[in-house]
Chains A and B, each alone.
Chain A
């Protein structure tokens, strides 16, 4: 069953993330995908993740689609203006890709080309609106330059519309939460039909977030990030905005003879804990995709 169908049938939906290679050899990426066959409903493909140049997300999604997977095409606003973004979404449609995860994207300064021009012509909320419009068979073009603010209400008719299933990201643990929730609700009203969250570790915060999300009727897939070592957990805390691995989990890994094994246990435990609370989980194994089946086994999924 595909990703959208699973969500719409209110099944507990599982997605996992894989990253395209820095280069043209896709064998490792396809190998990772193979390990996920029959275990997940959709596979996210990152778009120049962390502003590091890699093989394109769209091409990788196309390969996954051909190999029988249901890809979730991640598209950021960092590298393309509104012409390129719309064009990419048309391209995705003709390649049979339906699920799109819209992100604003990390700043180029965070990556391996810090001197690159940051684009951010649109932000993720605006891009969600654009997708809504493309799905209705119109682009966002405008010939009139006299308006005080450009709107998305006009646009030219397309020869064939898109049929995209748009989603977005959210972070239940961000501090301060209030301005983030405001943006989250804007994304809901801009047409996000599912959300994949940043790594969840604090269930109290997650519950608080879910209360808000449920009120808006948003479908949430909780982010599950596989910890492989105490050092990695500390690295995340120091360097990745919005991720906080609690000390108690770091200690649990430190006292373990096999930290990765413990990381898998923590991930599967978190999955079981959020299972009754949200629509599904989104697993990020960051290079250890072959361990995802172990996490799912351990979680009984």
Chain B
């Protein structure tokens, strides 16, 4: 899921400045799990903004703000409030903020910082393991991604900064390449990293990306 964190309230207050009438949008998926933009946080934000003298005209926790068509449909029910608002504060990831900006003709403001694609370790604890690089090498690295979990993203590690199996950047973090080595050794596949990995193909990671599934491909499933 996409991991988000609320911006400091002082920053949000500065963003809204002279805008008195505000509409709030949250997201029922990732931002709810991150406790940054679920219904609970949206209501909290409503109270805080009301306390600052703002008029919160309404709010909507959309099913998935990143889904453009669905969000458009869901927001139809809020037409009256949206017509009056001076700003929309979106409590979802950056993809969601851009959905709303595309759909509405008032200033759309991001209340969250979008951090990473995260695994949920346990409730409220997230960890980045995939950086969506477009060129998955997990089949060769024992299911541990060095592009993401090595702080330098090295393909031929460990680097000279490894010490006692930890990373130079953060001694609390394990060295990805020591973990890969240990994992491959345990499953008898160490030869998988004896080859020299060639440089990555960053053209596969070129921004912005898009994907359109062909009709026949979808139907095959």
Mark A residues whose CB is within 8 Å of B. 82, 103-104, 106-107, 109-110, 118, 120-126, 129, 140, 145, 147-152, 169, 171, 174-176, 178-180, 182-183, 186, 189-190, 198, 241-242
Contacts and interface: CB of A to CB of B under 8 A. Distances in A.
B contacts with A: majority SS: loop
Nearest to B194: A182
Given A118-B152, A123-B155, A182-B193, A241 B160 contact: yes
B163 A242 contact: yes
B203 A106 contact: no
A149 B198 contact: yes
A151 B198 contact: yes
B50 interface: no
Contacts of B181: 178-179, 182
Which of B152, B155, B160, B190 has the largest number of chain A CB atoms within 10 A?
B160
Contact of B168 (A110, A126, A129, A149): A110
Given A126-B196, A145-B201, A183-B156, 17 more contacts: A104-B159, A107-B168, A107-B169, A110-B168, A121-B202, A123-B157, A124-B156, A125-B156, A126-B156, A126-B197, A149-B197, A149-B198, A150-B198, A150-B199, A241-B161, A241-B163, A242-B161
Interface string B138-169: 00000000000001111111111111110011
A147 B196 contact: no
**Interface extent on B, as a size class?**
20 to 34
B201 A121 contact: no
A83 to B, nearest CB: 11
Given A104-B160, A106-B161, A179-B177, A126 B194 contact: no
- Tell me what chain A mostly uses at the interface: helix, strand, loop, or mixed: loop
Given A107-B152, A179-B177, A122 B199 contact: yes
A104 B154 contact: yes
B156 A180 contact: no
B109 interface: no
28 contacts: A104-B160, A106-B168, A109-B151, A110-B169, A120-B153, A121-B199, A121-B202, A123-B155, A123-B157, A124-B159, A125-B156, A126-B155, A126-B196, A126-B199, A145-B201, A145-B204, A149-B135, A152-B198, A174-B160, A179-B158, A180-B158, A180-B162, A183-B157, A183-B158, A186-B196, A189-B196, A190-B196, A198-B160
B29 interface: no
Contact of A241 (B162, B178, B193, B201): B162
Given A147-B201, A150-B198, A150-B201, A171 B153 contact: no
Nearest to A81: B202
Contacts of B178: 176, 179
A293 to B, nearest CB: 28
Contact of B159 (A123, A129, A150, A152): A123
A174 B196 contact: no
A192 to B, nearest CB: 12
B157 to A, nearest CB: 7
Contact of A107 (B157, B161, B194): B161
Report the 9 A-B pairs with minimum CB-CB distance, sorted nearest first: A241-B163, A179-B181, A125-B156, A120-B152, A241-B168, A123-B154, A104-B159, A150-B201, A107-B169
Nearest to A244: B163
A119 to B, nearest CB: 9
A182 B197 CA distance: 13
A241 B151 CA distance: 15
A106 B190 CA distance: 26
Interface string B193-217: 1101111111110000000000000
A118 B167 CA distance: 15
Contacts of B161: 106-107, 110, 241-242
A140 B160 CA distance: 25
Nearest to A149: B198
A170 B171 CA distance: 20
Contacts of B154: 104, 120, 123
A178 B151 CA distance: 20
Contacts of A147: 201
Contacts of A121: 199-200, 202
Contacts of B193: 182
B35 to A, nearest CB: 28
B59 to A, nearest CB: 35
